[in-house]
Amino acid sequence: MKKGAIFLLIYGIILYIAFLYRDSLLEWVNHSDLSQLPLMFFLVIIFGIIPVIPFTVFAALMGAKYGTWIGSTINWIGTIGASAFFFILARYFFVHQFRKYIPRFKKIKQFDEIINQNAFIAVLFARMIPIVPPPVVNIYSGLTSMTFKIYILATAIGKIPGTIIYAYLGNHLFTSNRSILLGLFIYVVFIIIVLLLYRWWFKASSDLVVE
């Protein structure tokens, strides 16, 4: 409950600030200067690591400023960079600290079971649907015997749908409510399909282990 209230409060503050500086923000968004791209790639990784503002907000801004495809590319690279950063921290630098931090999450046992069956599928599904929070996926993956290659490949593929939808919604934020509703509908249907596939795969894998 407290986390939800804090989350809503942060978004409320961001929306209020955006309203106060809406003219300057719109001018910046409409001025799609590609010379700023290197800075945007850097910032998206930083905001992925240190959420000064929620990543979804920045991801939508990238879509509004650069369009769906360039914006989603920026978001995609940023999420991969942040994910790689936490994986490396967990594996090589803060192993003991993170081992104490991880057990507080209730669904980590289920995620561990999936990793033991298929590490690639575990990370792939975790990136597409909220099995466990993304930071936990990053950290716990680093604590396991999973190879970095498998982790980063599954992350790169699994992050594609989300980064595209954030950029798409941002791109149509000031232009078309119908496009926003259509994008949300498609994404919800996609999540439901992935969730059903995940449940089917997890049940089938569990039955094979029992046999």
pLDDT values of the chain reduced to their tens digit, one per residue, 211 residues: 455 455 456 556 655 665 565 555 556 555 666 677 777 777 777 777 776 667 777 788 888 878 888 889 988 988 898 899 889 988 888 777 777 777 777 667 777 777 777 888 888 888 888 777 788 888 888 888 889 999 999 999 999 988 888 888 888 876 767 777 887 888 888 888 888 887 787 676 655 444 4
Residue 146: closest CA among 208, 88, 198: 88
Domain assignment present for 1 = no
Q: Are 169 and 72 in contact (CB under 8 A)?
A: no
Q: Are 140 and 111 in contact (CB under 8 A)?
A: yes
Q: Give the total number of structural domains in the chain.
A: 1
The boundaries of the domain holding residue 51 are 36-210
Specify the pTM: 0.75
Domain assignment present for 186 = yes
Domain assignment present for 74 = yes
What's the CA gap between 45 and 163, in Å, rounded? 13
DSSP letters for 179-204: HHHHHHHHHHHHHHHHHHHHHHHHHH
